[in-house]
Structure formats: structure tokens, C-alpha cells
Structure 1
Amino acid sequence: MQAEIRMERLDKEKQEEINQMKIRFYVNISHELRTPLTLIIAPLQELLNRISGHWEHEQLLYIQRNTSRLLHLVNQLMDFRRAELGIFELRVVYSNAYKRVLNSFLNYESLAKRKDIDYNFYTELQDENVLFDENYLDLIVNNLLSNAFKYTEVGESITVKLYIENDDLVLQVADTGIGIPAEKQKKVFERFYQLENGREGSGIGLSLVHRLVELHHGRIALQSEVGKGSVFSIYLPQNKSVYAQEELLDGSEDIRKQRVYSTNAHDVYIGDEEKPDEENVTDVEGGKRGTILIVEDNKELRKYLVNSMADLFNLLEAENGQKAVELLKEQEVDLIITDVMMPVMDGVKLCKWVKQNLRTCHIPVYMLSAKADVKYQLEGLHVGADDYIAKPFSLEILRAKILNALRTRYRIFERYSNTTEVEPEKLTNNTMDEELLRKAIAIVEKNMDNVEFSTEQFAREMNMSRSNLHLKLKAITGKSAIDFIHKIRFNRACQLLKEGKYSVSEISFMVGYNTPSYFAARFKKYIGCLPTEYGKK
């Protein structure tokens, strides 16, 4: 008897070891698959946007569906491994569960239409805030819906319900699919278990759901009958005492931090990506196109990114962080896109150098990486990365993000141009630039009535070369060093004109202009009217 128990235990341990080996193997190859998947998915979407022929379009859609299936498997493996390692830290908060579930529900609408499935969502919680972890719920809903669509035939139905029962938030996903035999129902939550029905699947999705529900201190129930379908019910506790203190967010904390935990909560969905509005954005700052530096050691991906964005931006490229640093010492750049894992100098070290260097600290840095784990994302964000994008990524979304970043910057320049005020906290996004701008303002104000104050003296007092001062002020304000001096002086002139105590001639000398006529001409150029007219307003 003891020998049998010992053999059972050894068999169980051996099976567990095999499962762990499977997970490690699949997770390792999952990392390697992300870059080639990017080089398939991104150009494929470009082709779909351009191809008009029906047959060609259908073939490309077939490729896209199967590529997305592979991506879904990769992401499931990554998420499952994170759940196993306890990386999915639970953070519950009172929030609108209806909106979270609806977002995932809508992602499957096109699939429901394609399979002619009667697809419905019922809830009375539209306006109620309930207690749950947003990231957990996204993953749970996505995996349950993915499972339901996998086993539900054309013309059948899938129904999602969300409600409160006793002291639990209940999420229910019901289908009229093939159903699960009674003797198999306990096994469907085991890792790598697949029903013997010839359907494709990884055997990970339901196991991941089960693990996430456990971590959420909840429970999962299954009702199923062969030929009639299945009902999966998730119960998430609403009593705050169930959760540890560190698992509760008070609402003032930044919930967005949770977003780094998941590889991709909605990766199974193949949607028609909305094309960003690219009109009137290629020419910025008086006809100058934004300059993007792409740092990527994979030559194919680097060339693909360069070719795909050449219509919008000026592109520079480097094969590693060290090459990028050398280039940044010589070139003006508006935004950097960098891989994380690279030889010589990786993306994290490059980002740290950029953000700690006065010449470059204003430049946004977007990290692209096959490493989607939370620790890598946080490492990048902690050294100052402005965004962290996991491979494979959508080229159109990347382009849209870059365009939005450049738009935001140039709108700040426009506001700066249309006001006499210079407000460092509104013009900068880091302390180094803010301190530099405050120092620059103080130096100009100290030399307010100095008619011989030049950009050379300005640079000396800033402990910078004249060219570096020009480039830095241009990057922060969109204007040159001499324009910056004029702006500070005209701001002071406007204040003096409003006071009405001094003549235009007196004010011109007080703000550093040796002739009233030159002062009046420059004033009109910057302010839009003569000093005498401004004083009368």
C-alpha cells in the first residue's frame, strides 16, 4: 500500500516536472517568436489596408487569423507563467465592471457575426461600482470568451451575464456549444488539458482563468452537458475583509500601473484597426518633419520600421545603444524608438543616458521589446521611458502614438509663441529642463537693461556652448536663443506699458534696446502691435 502511494506521489512529481519543463520551454520560445511575429503582423496589416482584390484580401485575412492565433498562444503562455510565479499582484478597487466586461465583449462581435452566433450581454450594473482587479477581470473575460467561441458552432449562441449575488460579483459566460462530459469537467482547469474532440487549443486558457480566480480569492463553477453547452460562473468577493490591506487600492492610487501586468488582454481579437488621422501632421514647425531615431539590432525589423515610417518622418537608425549615443551627440532628434535587448549597450542603458543628459533629456523614448514581463516594463519606465510597447505591435498604433507625441509638443510651442509669458513648468516635462529654463530666465532678467547682452554672453553665463544653448532652447521652446531673449524682454516691456508710468522711449532702454525705433519694430513683430497701441489697450 505504501509502495503504491509512493509510486503515485513520484508519478505526480514527475508529471509536475514535465509540466514545468513544458512551460519553461514554451515561454523561452515565446520570447523568440515576438520579433518574427511583428515582422509578419505589421506588414500584413499594411497589405490588408492597400489590397482591393477580393481573393487576395481573403487570403491575407486567412494568414492574419492564423498569425493572431499563434500570438494568442504566445500571450497565454506568458500570462500563465506570470500567474504561476505570482507576478500578477492583486490590486482591487471600486470601479465600473460593466465597462470592463463590455469592452472585452465588443472585441468578439465581428467573430460572432462571422460565425452567425447569437451573441448577448445582460447586466443591471451599468452605473454601479464594484470591487475587482481590472487587469484580472480583463484576462478572465477574454479567456472565457475565447474558449466559448472555440467550442460553439455556427448558428449557436453565447451569452454573458454580470450581476451581484449575495456578496459576490458574478460573471457568467454561457454557450450552446458541444458541452463537456461529466467525467472530464474537473480536468478542464488542469494545465495543458485538452478535450478529445479534435479542436485546436493550448490547454492553458481555462487553467489561467482558474488560477486568476483563485488569486482573486474567488471561485469558479462549471455546469455542462454534452450537446447542450456549458456555463462558466466566476464569483469574485465583494467583502473588503476578504482581501489583504496591500491588495486594496484606495482610488487615489494610479490604477494605470496595473496595465503592465498583462501581455495583451484582448489579443485574440482581429479587428479593423482605425487608421490614425495623418493629415497635416507630416509637416510641423514651419515645414520641418519630425526626426525619429530607430535603435534596433535586428536588421530586418529596423529596415521595416524605417521603410514604413519614411512617408511621415525623417528617419535615423542605429544598431545598438552605443551607436545611438554617438549619433545623438551630433544630430537633433524629436523621438527615439529603441529595442530593449541589444548588444554593446541595451535599450535600458540608452534610455538612462538620454534622460540624464542635459542635451537629450527632453527627447521622448519609446521602448519596443519581446520581453513583455512586468519587471522589464517597470525597469524601462523607471529609467524614464515614455512608453513601453510589447512585440508584436501594431504599426498603425505606433505611428499614431508618435504623431500624437509630436502634435502635443508642437501645440506647446504654439501656445508659447502666442503668449508673452515663459512658464517653465508648462514647457518642460522633467526637472533638468525646468531648472535650465529657470536659470535662463534669471540670466536674461539680470541683464534686462544691458544693450550689449548677446547670445555669446548668454551661453557663457549658462556654462554651455552657443550651439548647445541654441539647440536646447529650440528643443524646449521651439525658438532660438535670441528669440528667447527678446521674449523675456518684451514680457517685461508689456508689464511696464500696462503700468503707464514710463514713456515708450524710457521702456526701450529699460529692456535693453538702444533705440526706441528698433524696439518698436521688434515689439510689433512679436506682439502684433506698436508699443503705443498696446499701452492704450
Structure 2
Amino acid sequence: MDGIQPTNFANFQKLATGQYSLEVKSRDKEFNIDPTPASITFRVLPIWWKSTPFLLLASLAIAIISFLQFRVLTHIKSLKNLNLKLEGKSEQLEEKNEKIEHQRDQLRKKVAQIEKLSQSRLRFFTNITHEFRTPISLILAPLEFLKSKSSLQDAENRRKYYDIIQRNANRLLLLINQILEIYKVEENTMAFSPAPGELSAHVRQIVDLFEGLAQQQHVALIFESGNEALWAEYDQDKIEKILFNLLSNAFKNVPSFGEIKVKLKTSDRQPVDGSKTAEPTIVFSVTDNGRGIPQEYISKVFDRFFHYENDGNVRIHKGTGIGLSYIKDLCKTHHGAISVESDPGVATTFTLYIPYIAVEQLQIKNPENPPGFIALSPTIHSAVADLSQSLIQDVIEEEQSTTTAQKDEKPKLLVVDDDSDMRTVLRMSFEHNYQIFEAKDGLEALNLARKENPELIISDIMMAAMDGIELCKKLKNDFNTSHIPIILLSAKTRAENKINGYESGADGYVEKPFNVKLLKSRVHTLIRNRNTLIKRFLTDINLKPEEMAIASVDEIFIQHAVKCVERHMDDESLDADSMAKEIGVSRIQLYRKIKSISGQTVNEFIKSIRLKHAARLLMQKQLTISQIAYSTGFSAPNHFATYFKKHFGTTPTAYVQQNLKKDSAPNN
């Protein structure tokens, strides 16, 4: 502010911060101005937030905040980097965990594979052991006969035994060779020896070997080739073994007057199982109209020792138990494949595919006499001969069994086994003392048992149509056959197999290979014990039906029969007709059942029960002999005395005296 102001008051506002000097001059009324001004110095202080301390503090605060923010940002960045590192490590850990889990899964799979392989090998060797037992039995049993002096007198029987021994020795040799070749396949050491040859003629030669067997079995054997001459490179040994196994399998399953067809052709299509067989392809097929294979088992038929149940255990390849698996191994060795199609009861076709290498590629200069065209091996000749002898033996034994059955009155023994040699050995072992009937499987045996009512049955377990376990169950649950003792023969030796056999109702379980004398003893003992039990039941006045060691069906029947007689004890008119009507069976069923259990006719059985009751009354000494005779259904006392003596071997009076002496005798 400068100049003269008309007031003696000054107000300074909005002065900037700083140092100020205020000079004031006075003037009088005459306008005279004092030359010496009055002055004052003052300072305008800044606003607090503009003050230096504040600014310093603010700067310090800003610096601190900036530092802290920097530290925070640095820490956040560090945390982010650490988090990224952790995420990276986490991913690495997850990858490692995944790898560990994958390795663990792989380890589990390998352990499972090892266990499966171990179980498979265990089953393989267990089943191989079972397969060995039957041919070994069929070697040991004939040798046992040949060692005895009596068997040497019959030259015809000696020849039969020698034939059986030879066939089963060959069977063992074939099985051993197959096992060795399976081992070679697993170790990838099986030799593959292809050579040029005329395949069509070779296959025809193999088929022709079976022609005699086809005629014996009344089977139409047909061979069809799409090529008059098919020159190719192939392994002769492998093809012979494959076709032999397929044809023998077909003959074992085809019925009489059935058909087996073998086809050979070339094709450009791939095999149905998707394997990478080279094109073009040679296609073999073997078709039979036997019982067939259910669709649910088609994928498993090439597994070793696979069998499926069809009213019992039916082994797909009856013979070695590894036939179809062995064929598959041979096909793989030949860089081929095999498949099967089946319509049960209509037809089953096995189809083999192998690579076709044409004659031009072989550069055969002389097609009239090409290399590789050789005769069939001696092994296949021997194998077909043994197969033919084994199968034709079924027909011969059937005829012999029928002829013997018509003439022989000896006790009946039913032998059940799908191996004709085993039936022959068993027949020749027992034919001197028993009338022998034979059956190839459980179904045939069931019908034969119902028809012939044998004294005892000896049955194998593993058979077609119906196995021994199922046969045993059906026989023991059938009113007409429940009384027949059954001995099971089996190559299965484990405890659970024996338990299964006994639980099915078997009276005995004999392992293969078996001792013939021991088996004979078991058969004779079972029949003797049964006869002893019957005799005791008829003479022991205190023995009740439920105390007899017989099948539950028989026990119930005997209880009904005894109670029926007891209800009509004083009725002398009780006979077979009235008894059958009251029990609820036919007269024939009543007769057969009473005869099979007690060895008596119905009337004899009724008299036996009456006499047992009479014996009990005699011991009570409350009635006279005449009263007892009339109360037990006898028309006269003298008739009663006659029957009583015949039954107990003594008179009624002597019977009482003898038993009183026994009761009064001091115990030692």
C-alpha cells in the first residue's frame, strides 16, 4: 500500500509469507509532511501446512511412505515371484505326483500281471498234472494186470492191454511235445521253417488220413479246394499239427451220420479278428455239425484248459486240454490267426488264416517236382491211428456191453467215462464178478442207471453232456436211483474237489492214477457193507431206518414203508398193490425200490417188518405166541413159527430164551 490514505487505520490481508517493513509519515492540517517516517518491521508467518517443520515432516512422511510403499511393492513382487515359483514347484510336484501315481499304477498292473501270470502258470501246471493222471492210470493199471499170473493166460486180453499202454504212452509223448512247444512259443524260440510246397495236395493227404475214421463213425468227410494246385511257402509241421488238432476235435464232437467239411482257398481280405496278417491270405476252415459252443464262450475257447458248463463241465478240446490254445500258438508262429464261429446244435467253424506267398515269388523252376513237397510225418500217422482206435472202441464196447447184458446175471456195475481206454480197463478189471454197463457221459449214464438199476456206479468227473458231479446229484435226488452207491474217479486231488464230490452224494472218491486192487476193494467193500446193513436191518429188531447210513431219499421211503406195515400190522391182506397206493408210488416203483434197498420182494419185506415186530412182542412176554401171530398179520400160529424160524434161524421160544441169556449174562 502506498500513498496518502484518508484514514488513520490500515488492514493488511492476504499477505504472502515473508519479511515486511511498514513506514508511516504523518501530515498536518496544513499538509505539511513529516520528513522522517515512522517505520516498523514485521514478518508474516506461513500457514502451518506450509511451514518448514511441517514440510520437513511431510517430506519425511512422504519419504517413509514411499519407502514403505516400495518395500510393500517389492514384497508383493517378491511374493508374486515366490508364488510363481511355488506354482511352478506345485506343478512340478503335481507332475511328479502324476508320474509317481502313473508309476504306481504301472507297478500295480505289473504286480497284477505277475500275479495273473503266476496264477495262469499255476493253473497250467495243475491242469497239466491232471492231464497226465489219466494216461498214467491207463499205463499203470494194465501193467498191474500183466504182472499177475492169471492175466497172462489170455493172449487177447494181453494184446488189449499192450494196445492201451502204447496208445497212452503216445498220448503222454504228444502232450509232452505240446508242452515243450508252448514253452518255446512263450520264450519266442519256436522254430518257423517255411518251405515251398503244393498246399492243396498236402491238405488233401491229411484229410484222407481221417477217411477210415469217418467211415467207422458214419461221418461224411468232405474236402473242398478253391485251387487245383496251390503252390505256397509254409511250415509243413505246423500245418499238419493244426489240421490234426482241428479235425480230431471235430470228430470228437460230431454225432454219427454227421458231417465234417474242410475248405481251402485264397483270399485278399483281412482276418475277422483284426490281426495284421499279410495280404493275400490262405484260408483254411474246418466245419462240423456237432453240439457247438455257446456264444458267451466264443472269446475264451482258445484259453488254455478252458472249459464251459453245459449241463456239466464240457471241455472244448477233449484230449489234451490245451489243443485249441496250442493251435493258436502254432498260428501265431506261422504269422497267422485263427477264429471260431458257432451256432450251437447247427454248426461250428474254425477258420485259419496264414500269409500267402505265391509260387512266382518262390521262383520254383520245376513245378512238376517242387522243393518242399514231402510225405506226411510219421507222427501224424500214429496220432490218427490212436485217435481212430480210441473212438471206434466206443462202438465196440457198446456192442459188447449190450451182448453181455442180455446173457449175464451177475451184479450190475455201471462204468462212466469219456475215455474209451479207461472204460476198457475198468470193464476188464470187474467183468469176472460183475455185469458191466458202459456210458460215455453223465447224460447217457443217468438214463442207463434208471433202466438197469446197477449195484454200483464208477464215474469220471470231467465229461461231456453232463459231468460226474451233476450225475451224482441227479442220481441221489432221484427216487428210483438214490440207493445206488457211487464212486467218483478224478485227476483232481485237492481237498475242495473231494469235498465237492462227497457233498454231491458220492460214496467214494478215488484219485487218478489209481491202484486197481484198491479200487476193487473199495467197490466190494461198499457193496458188502450195504448188504450187511440190509441184513442187519432185517434181523435187528431195534434198528430203525433213520439209523441206517443210506441216502435221505431212501431213508424217507423206508420210514414210510415201515410205518405203512405197522399201521396194518394185523391186516393179513396187506399186499404190494395196497401198500403202493398208500405210499403214493406205482407198484413197479415200489418193487424196484424195496428190492434195491432190502434185496427182498414187497411181500418178503412186509413179512420181515411183521417178524421184527413179533420179536419185540416176544421179548416183552405179555402175549402168547398165538396172540402175537394173529396180531402181526399171520393167519395161523404154525405159519408164523415157520416164517420166524426161516427169518431168525430159530423158533420163537428158542429166540426168547437165547435173548434172555444174553441179557442176563454179566458184562466183561
TM-score for the superposition, normalised by structure 1:
0.50
Is 1:350 the counterpart of 2:471? The answer is yes
* Structure 2 alignment gaps of length 5 or more: 1-102, 153-161, 180-407, 659-668
Q: Give 1:408's aligned amino acid.
A: N
TM-superposed CA distance for 1:534, in Å, is: 4.9
The match for 2:141 is 42
- Equivalent residue for 1:31, pick from 114, 130, 135: 130
The match for 2:486 is 365
When residues 306 and 427 of structure 1 are mapped into structure 2, their CA distance, relative to the original with a 3 A threshold, is same
The match for 1:455 is 576
* Structure 1 alignment gaps of length 5 or more: 1-5, 53-59, 78-286
TM-superposed CA distance for 1:352, in Å, is: 0.5
Taking every aligned residue pair, what percent have the same amino acid on both sides? 35
TM-superposed CA distance for 1:351, in Å, is: 0.5
The match for 2:451 is 330
The match for 2:528 is 407
TM-superposed CA distance for 1:325, in Å, is: 1.2
Distance in 1 (CA, whole Å) between partners of 2:126 and 2:617 is 68
The match for 2:430 is 309
Which has the higher mean CA deviation after the structures are superposed, 327-336 or 495-504?
495-504
Q: Which whole-Å deviations, capped at 9, do the CAs of 1:394-425 have from their partners, x for residues lacking one?
A: 22221121122122222223333443444213
Q: Which whole-Å deviations, capped at 9, do the CAs of 1:287-314 have from their partners, x for residues lacking one?
A: 9744221111111211221112212322
Distance in 2 (CA, whole Å) between partners of 1:20 and 1:499 is 68
Assess if the C-alpha contact under 8 Å between 1:362 and 1:429 holds in 2. yes
Assess if the C-alpha contact under 8 Å between 2:626 and 2:637 holds in 1. yes
Q: Which whole-Å deviations, capped at 9, do the CAs of 1:166-188 have from their partners, x for residues lacking one?
A: xxxxxxxxxxxxxxxxxxxxxxx
When residues 301 and 518 of structure 1 are mapped into structure 2, their CA distance, relative to the original with a 3 A threshold, is same
Alignment of 1:80-91 (within 5 A): none
| Secondary structure at 2:457 match in 1 | strand
| Secondary structure at 2:452 match in 1 | coil
Assess if the C-alpha contact under 8 Å between 1:523 and 1:529 holds in 2. yes
Assess if the C-alpha contact under 8 Å between 1:428 and 1:476 holds in 2. no
Alignment of 1:164-313 (within 5 A): 289-313=410-434
Assess if the C-alpha contact under 8 Å between 2:489 and 2:511 holds in 1. yes
The match for 1:393 is 514
| Secondary structure at 1:452 match in 2 | coil
Assess if the C-alpha contact under 8 Å between 1:427 and 1:476 holds in 2. no
Distance in 2 (CA, whole Å) between partners of 1:450 and 1:31 is 59
Distance in 2 (CA, whole Å) between partners of 1:514 and 1:371 is 59
Assess if the C-alpha contact under 8 Å between 1:509 and 1:515 holds in 2. yes
Assess if the C-alpha contact under 8 Å between 2:538 and 2:608 holds in 1. no
Q: Which whole-Å deviations, capped at 9, do the CAs of 1:351-381 have from their partners, x for residues lacking one?
A: 0001111222222211112333444333222
Q: Give 2:526's aligned amino acid.
A: A
* Larger gyration radius, structure 1 or structure 2: 2
The match for 1:384 is 505
TM-superposed CA distance for 1:29, in Å, is: 3.2
| Secondary structure at 1:448 match in 2 | coil
Assess if the C-alpha contact under 8 Å between 2:417 and 2:460 holds in 1. yes
Task: Report the number of matched residues.
Answer: 305
TM-superposed CA distance for 1:19, in Å, is: 6.8
Q: Give 1:47's aligned amino acid.
A: L
Alignment of 1:134-145 (within 5 A): none
TM-superposed CA distance for 1:17, in Å, is: 8.4
When residues 429 and 533 of structure 1 are mapped into structure 2, their CA distance, relative to the original with a 3 A threshold, is closer
When residues 338 and 520 of structure 1 are mapped into structure 2, their CA distance, relative to the original with a 3 A threshold, is same
| Secondary structure at 2:571 match in 1 | coil
When residues 16 and 480 of structure 1 are mapped into structure 2, their CA distance, relative to the original with a 3 A threshold, is closer
When residues 375 and 524 of structure 1 are mapped into structure 2, their CA distance, relative to the original with a 3 A threshold, is closer
TM-superposed CA distance for 1:349, in Å, is: 0.8
Q: Give 2:511's aligned amino acid.
A: A
TM-superposed CA distance for 1:515, in Å, is: 2.6
TM-superposed CA distance for 1:426, in Å, is: 3.6
Distance in 1 (CA, whole Å) between partners of 2:117 and 2:652 is 83
| Secondary structure at 1:389 match in 2 | strand
The match for 1:527 is 648
Distance in 2 (CA, whole Å) between partners of 1:16 and 1:428 is 45
TM-superposed CA distance for 1:328, in Å, is: 1.4
Distance in 2 (CA, whole Å) between partners of 1:353 and 1:16 is 38
Assess if the C-alpha contact under 8 Å between 1:422 and 1:488 holds in 2. no
| Secondary structure at 1:451 match in 2 | coil
| Secondary structure at 2:454 match in 1 | coil
When residues 529 and 376 of structure 1 are mapped into structure 2, their CA distance, relative to the original with a 3 A threshold, is closer
Distance in 2 (CA, whole Å) between partners of 1:497 and 1:15 is 76
Assess if the C-alpha contact under 8 Å between 2:472 and 2:506 holds in 1. yes
When residues 499 and 334 of structure 1 are mapped into structure 2, their CA distance, relative to the original with a 3 A threshold, is same
TM-superposed CA distance for 1:443, in Å, is: 0.9
TM-superposed CA distance for 1:532, in Å, is: 5.2
| Secondary structure at 1:449 match in 2 | coil
Distance in 2 (CA, whole Å) between partners of 1:350 and 1:20 is 30
When residues 506 and 381 of structure 1 are mapped into structure 2, their CA distance, relative to the original with a 3 A threshold, is closer
When residues 19 and 413 of structure 1 are mapped into structure 2, their CA distance, relative to the original with a 3 A threshold, is closer
Assess if the C-alpha contact under 8 Å between 2:410 and 2:433 holds in 1. yes
Q: Which whole-Å deviations, capped at 9, do the CAs of 1:175-218 have from their partners, x for residues lacking one?
A: xxxxxxxxxxxxxxxxxxxxxxxxxxxxxxxxxxxxxxxxxxxx
Is 1:495 the counterpart of 2:594? The answer is no
| Secondary structure at 1:329 match in 2 | helix
Distance in 2 (CA, whole Å) between partners of 1:326 and 1:16 is 44
When residues 28 and 418 of structure 1 are mapped into structure 2, their CA distance, relative to the original with a 3 A threshold, is closer
The match for 2:560 is 439
Distance in 1 (CA, whole Å) between partners of 2:537 and 2:448 is 29
Assess if the C-alpha contact under 8 Å between 2:538 and 2:612 holds in 1. no
TM-superposed CA distance for 1:32, in Å, is: 2.5
Runs of 4 or more off by more than 6 Å in structure 1?
Answer: 12-21
Assess if the C-alpha contact under 8 Å between 1:337 and 1:365 holds in 2. yes
Assess if the C-alpha contact under 8 Å between 1:420 and 1:487 holds in 2. no
Distance in 2 (CA, whole Å) between partners of 1:20 and 1:421 is 55
Assess if the C-alpha contact under 8 Å between 1:470 and 1:481 holds in 2. yes
Q: Give 1:383's aligned amino acid.
A: S
When residues 391 and 485 of structure 1 are mapped into structure 2, their CA distance, relative to the original with a 3 A threshold, is same
| Secondary structure at 1:301 match in 2 | helix
Greater relative contact order structure (CA < 8 Å, 6+ sep)? 1
Distance in 1 (CA, whole Å) between partners of 2:476 and 2:539 is 29
When residues 422 and 464 of structure 1 are mapped into structure 2, their CA distance, relative to the original with a 3 A threshold, is farther
When residues 512 and 370 of structure 1 are mapped into structure 2, their CA distance, relative to the original with a 3 A threshold, is same
Assess if the C-alpha contact under 8 Å between 1:427 and 1:477 holds in 2. no
Distance in 1 (CA, whole Å) between partners of 2:588 and 2:416 is 25
| Secondary structure at 1:344 match in 2 | coil
When residues 448 and 25 of structure 1 are mapped into structure 2, their CA distance, relative to the original with a 3 A threshold, is closer
Assess if the C-alpha contact under 8 Å between 2:546 and 2:559 holds in 1. no
TM-superposed CA distance for 1:337, in Å, is: 0.9
